[in-house]
DNA sequence: GGACAAAACAGAAACGTTTTTGTCAAGCCA
DNA sequence: TGGCTTGACAAAAACGTTTCTGTTTTGTCC
């Protein structure tokens, strides 16, 4: 009854008040201002549910976060920063973030979750994270004609809006750095192969090797789940080989920490006997022993970019194919890498 | 028009269909089943916006996350697990989580954010995290008569629903452990004093000292912002004193990592010259050097508890004063602490 | 001054539910 | 058999907006 009251209070019709508040130009500037002032004075807030029903829009943007394990232990903390950036942008525009979680990747359950979000009319737009090489979620969104932005790219015939980090460049950079340091046996401790970022990273790694005419050893490319435990286990499995790698490029700082732990257990001195490079420049990477050489990317800023893109798509100010933001990555040199050991 | 179609399709009235779907008992069991079946068959989904408007309920639970810095870098990754637990419980009940963020603590802006959430009709219930000693948010919720659960306690005259970790016990436990190891100069690297958990932790620390008739030195109780950088800085400021502490109890594993870095810079051997205990049992704590003695608490499980409590409150199956869950904390002994150095 | 356009507002339908109130038939009891 | 209850459904009024379609007033031009 709220807008009714406001209208009565002003001696105007409901429709005029509504149009005044929404900035239509068939209401005089004077009236528009008068309405705005009075609305503020009596503390009028449009009821979001009614607004949604009336306009057919929800003012909500949905995101489904991947929780690696069923206990949620391994939710990637990166997402906090990403979402923080998104919210920073969409909140002032009156949008909210509707977050759900997905305990484990299961195609059927995932489709159901997204279907519910989209068809159920919960959200106006979606943020898709952790993109896979072939990602069915894009089709779901396209079929429902709902705007979306992916964080991470995927293989797709049709254009789509994406924001991503230059994973390929990053791992080319890191691998080249190790090559320049004299390393010839470089292992890649990668993320799950189904994710596109893992493929891009491998591609960067392989390209760096190829540019030095080095043949990659498939046994030195391993995939894990981005956790310390996984990095530890994979690194250990490589160290018992002979010859063992002298350097490890890891998909996350966490994996790098695990790898370093494995090296230490093997009585290898990090930065001299063996080199490790992480990814993410997490807050701890400067404080571990030795400080971790890693690659920085601005997750929060990427989140803001995503937020802005979503708003522009919702307002149809931009086409999906115009949203292609590839964040450059910078390498942060610290102490966990060094020249290849002699006779390595 | 959807329920209209379904009703027509069934030859029933809209109201009967609605009541059948919502399990009212003034519709025969046979009809109820028939409706449910047909609804499923034609893929009927109630429009959440309309449902909200009709029922005056949003089916959403709100949470406003604290982002420590304006860049969102220091969003506590713990919240991912907590929310994951909450969602696990509320999602099957048809509730969604509406998440917002608060860049920096600013009383006015915070109140506005919560007001918007509550008065704006965005959510049915709220989860309040990072409780302060005196927390104005409780009053906001009470005034708006909206159910809420706090994660963490606060000073309040009136009863309220809370889920918390036994912070006092935890730090009593850790301090006692260090005392048993012979330490007499134990520093507390705490979180910001405005948070209730920080006070409880100090209380546990002080109680442990008092039980051994030791007088606490106020200069050894410091407050930081829960990050590695802060732990590093605070620890360093203590190490240049004389006499310096021989042991540090830290508010988070991150702070402990920072403290360890500072100790290492001072050429102290961790676990022999100096002992450090963290809090949280983060995934990395087992893999750092030395592996971190820390305290485990089940954030995900706490989240589930919070979720269940919220549902029960919403259904009025329970009173706020009945929701008092204090999670016990267990100490995970590893290698970052040891006997006090001789002549310490 | 009459025709027309434009500006500014109003009326009413629509959005898709829930919920309150109403109706009707059947069953029960004295 | 008449009045009462009960079971099962229907009608219609909310819920608070947005938006489509009018309507009135004013101004402009020839």
Beta strands in B144-236 (DSSP E): 148-151, 162-165, 186-190, 221-223
User: Quick one: pLDDT at residue B208?
Assistant: 98
User: Quick one: pLDDT at residue A71?
Assistant: 53
Identify the sign of the CA torsion B201, B203, B208, B213.
Answer: positive
Listing DSSP states for B105-159 in one string gives --HHHHHHHHHHHHHTT--SEEEEES-BSS-HHHHHHHHHT--EEEES----SS-
Distance (Å) from CA B209 to C1' D1?
90
Closest residue (CA) to C1' of nucleotide D14 is B54
User: What is the phi/psi pair of residue A190, to 5°?
Assistant: -100, 170
Task: Report the relative pairing of strands B96-102 and B247-250 from DSSP bridges.
Answer: unpaired
Please, is B127 exposed, middle or buried when counting C-beta atoms within 10 Å of its C-beta (0-12, 13-18, 19+)? buried
pLDDT-above-70 percentage for chain A: 97
Q: Which of B43, B73, B92, B110 to mutate to test the interface with A (most CBs of A within 10 A)?
A: B73
What would the two tokens of residue A192 be? 């799950």
Q: Options 1.20.1440.230, 1.10.260.40, 3.90.79.10, 3.40.47.10; which CATH number does A2-46 get? A: 1.10.260.40
How many other C-beta atoms are found inside a 10 Å radius of the C-beta of residue A108? 7
Are A283 and B100 within 8 A, CB to CB? Answer: no
Task: Report the relative pairing of strands A324-327 and B162-165 from DSSP bridges.
Answer: unpaired
Give the CATH class of A167-297.
Answer: alpha beta
Q: Which nucleotide is nearest to A28 (CA to C1')?
A: C8
User: Cis omega before residue B129 (within 30°)?
Assistant: no
Question: For chain B, what is the mean pLDDT?
Answer: 93
Distance, in Å, from the CA atom of A256 to the CA atom of A270, rounded to the nearest integer, reads: 11
- Contacts of A244 by beta carbon, 8 Å cutoff, 6+ apart: A185, A238
Whether the per-residue pLDDT at A344 is higher than 80: the answer is no
Q: Are A341 and A273 in contact (CB under 8 A)?
A: yes
Distance (Å) from CA B36 to C1' C24?
25
User: Quick one: pLDDT at residue B1?
Assistant: 62
Whether the per-residue pLDDT at A72 is higher than 70: the answer is no
What CA–CA distances, in Å, run from A99 to A128, B117, B129, B130, B343?
11, 15, 17, 20, 55
The CATH code for residues B167-296 is 3.40.50.2300
Whether the per-residue pLDDT at B12 is higher than 60: the answer is yes
Q: Are B300 and B81 in contact (CB under 8 A)?
A: yes
pLDDT digits (tens, 9 = 90+) for A204-257: 999 999 999 999 999 999 999 999 999 999 999 999 998 999 999 999 999 999
Whether the per-residue pLDDT at A2 is higher than 90: the answer is no
Closest Cα partner for A79 from A306, A334, A329, A317?
Answer: A306
Whether the per-residue pLDDT at B68 is higher than 70: the answer is no
Distance, in Å, from the CA atom of B280 to the CA atom of B282, rounded to the nearest integer, reads: 5
Considering only B24-28, B67-71, B136-140, which range has the smallest mean pLDDT? B67-71
User: Quick one: pLDDT at residue A287?
Assistant: 97
pLDDT digits (tens, 9 = 90+) for B181-197: 999 999 999 999 999 99
User: Quick one: pLDDT at residue B142?
Assistant: 94
Superfamily of domain B60-165+299-328: Response regulator (3.40.50.2300)
Question: For chain A, what is the mean pLDDT?
Answer: 93
Please count the residue pairs, one from chain A and one from chain B, whose beta carbons lie less than 8 angstroms apart.
177
Distance, in Å, from the CA atom of B333 to the CA atom of B294, rounded to the nearest integer, reads: 7
Q: Which chain B residues are closer than 8 Å to A87 by Cβ?
A: 99-101
By CA distance, what is B82's nearest residue in A? A72
User: Quick one: pLDDT at residue B240?
Assistant: 96
Q: Where in chain A are the domains?
A: 2-46, 60-165+299-328, 167-297
Are B99 and A99 within 8 A, CB to CB? Answer: yes
User: Quick one: pLDDT at residue B102?
Assistant: 83
**Shortest CA gap A48–chain B (Å):** 6
Distance, in Å, from the CA atom of A103 to the CA atom of A65, rounded to the nearest integer, reads: 9
Listing DSSP states for A70-128 in one string gives TTSTT--THHHHHHHHHHHHHGGGT-EEEEEEESS--HHHHHHHHHHHHHTT--SEEEE
User: Quick one: pLDDT at residue A203?
Assistant: 98
- Contacts of B179 by beta carbon, 8 Å cutoff, 6+ apart: B186, B208, B209, B212, B214
Closest residue (CA) to C1' of nucleotide C6 is A26
pLDDT digits (tens, 9 = 90+) for A156-191: 999 999 999 999 999 999 999 999 999 999 999 999
Distance, in Å, from the CA atom of B150 to the CA atom of B208, rounded to the nearest integer, reads: 27
Whether the per-residue pLDDT at A105 is higher than 80: the answer is no
Q: Which chain A residues are closer than 8 Å to B73 by Cβ?
A: 81, 283, 300
In terms of pLDDT, which residue wins out, A25 or A307?
A307
User: Quick one: pLDDT at residue B71?
Assistant: 53
What would the two tokens of residue B48 be? 């959440």
pLDDT digits (tens, 9 = 90+) for B266-276: 999 999 999 99
Whether the per-residue pLDDT at B56 is higher than 60: the answer is yes
Q: Are A311 and A97 in contact (CB under 8 A)?
A: no
Q: How confident is the model at residue B67 (pLDDT cuts 50, 70, 90)?
A: confident
Which span out of A4-8, A305-309, B98-102 was modeled with the highest average pLDDT? Answer: A305-309
Judge if A2-46 and A167-297 fold alike in CATH terms.
Answer: no
User: Quick one: pLDDT at residue A68?
Assistant: 61
Distance, in Å, from the CA atom of A263 to the CA atom of B340, rounded to the nearest integer, reads: 29
Q: How confident is the model at residue B106 (pLDDT cuts 50, 70, 90)?
A: confident
Q: How confident is the model at residue A75 (pLDDT cuts 50, 70, 90)?
A: low
Instruction: List the nucleotides on chain C closer than 7 A to a protein CB.
Output: 7-20, 22
Whether the per-residue pLDDT at A131 is higher than 70: the answer is yes
Closest Cα partner for B71 from A80, A330, A323, A92?
Answer: A80
User: Quick one: pLDDT at residue A14?
Assistant: 94
Instruction: List the nucleotides on chain D closer than 7 A to a protein CB.
Output: 7-20, 22
Q: Which nucleotide is nearest to A3 (CA to C1')?
A: D16
Q: How far apart are the first and last CA of chain B?
A: 79
User: Quick one: pLDDT at residue B66?
Assistant: 86
Distance, in Å, from the CA atom of B41 to the CA atom of B10, rounded to the nearest integer, reads: 12
User: Quick one: pLDDT at residue A205?
Assistant: 98
User: Quick one: pLDDT at residue A79?
Assistant: 87
Distance, in Å, from the CA atom of B284 to the CA atom of A259, rounded to the nearest integer, reads: 11
pLDDT digits (tens, 9 = 90+) for A43-57: 999 999 999 999 999
Distance (Å) from CA A26 to C1' D30?
28
User: Quick one: pLDDT at residue A77?
Assistant: 75
Distance, in Å, from the CA atom of A214 to the CA atom of A178, rounded to the nearest integer, reads: 13
Distance (Å) from CA A35 to C1' D3?
59
Distance, in Å, from the CA atom of B212 to the CA atom of B126, rounded to the nearest integer, reads: 42
């Amino acid at each position: 009854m709220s807008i009714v009251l406001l209208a009565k209070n002003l001696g105007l019709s409901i429709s005029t008040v509504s149009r005044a508040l929404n900035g239509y130009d068939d209401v005089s500037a004077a009236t528009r201002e008068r309405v705005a002032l009075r609305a503020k004075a009596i503390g009028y807030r449009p009821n979001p549910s009614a607004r949604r029903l009336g306009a057919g829009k929800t003012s909500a943007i949905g995101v489904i976060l991947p929780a690696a394990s069923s206990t949620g232990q391994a939710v990637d903390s990166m997402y906090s920063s990403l979402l923080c950036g998104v919210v920073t942008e969409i909140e002032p525009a009156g949008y909210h973030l509707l977050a759900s979680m997905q305990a484990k990747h299961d195609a059927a359950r995932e489709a159901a979750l997204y279907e519910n979000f989209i068809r159920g009319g919960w959200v106006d737009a979606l943020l898709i994270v952790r993109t896979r090489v072939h990602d069915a979620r894009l089709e779901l969104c396209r079929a429902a004609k709902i705007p979306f932005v992916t964080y991470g790219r995927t293989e797709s015939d049709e254009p789509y809006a994406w924001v991503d980090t230059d994973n390929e460049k990053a791992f080319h950079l890191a691998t080249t750095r190790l090559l320049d340091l004299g390393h010839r046996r470089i292992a890649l401790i990668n993320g799950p192969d189904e994710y596109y970022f893992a493929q891009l990273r491998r591609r960067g790694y392989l390209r760096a090797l190829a540019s030095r005419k080095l043949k990659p050893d498939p046994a030195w490319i391993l995939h894990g789940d981005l956790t310390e435990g996984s990095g530890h286990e994979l690194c250990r499995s490589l160290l018992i080989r002979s010859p063992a790698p002298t350097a490890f490029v890891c998909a996350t700082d966490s994996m790098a920490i695990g790898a370093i732990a494995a090296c230490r257990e093997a009585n290898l001195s990090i930065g001299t006997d063996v080199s490790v490079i992480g990814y993410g420049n997490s807050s701890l990477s400067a404080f571990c022993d030795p400080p971790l050489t890693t690659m920085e990317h601005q997750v929060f800023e990427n989140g803001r970019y995503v937020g802005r893109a979503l708003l522009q798509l919702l307002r149809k100010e931009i086409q999906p194919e115009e949203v292609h933001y590839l964040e450059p990555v910078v390498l942060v040199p610290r102490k966990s890498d060094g020249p290849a050991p002699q006779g390595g």
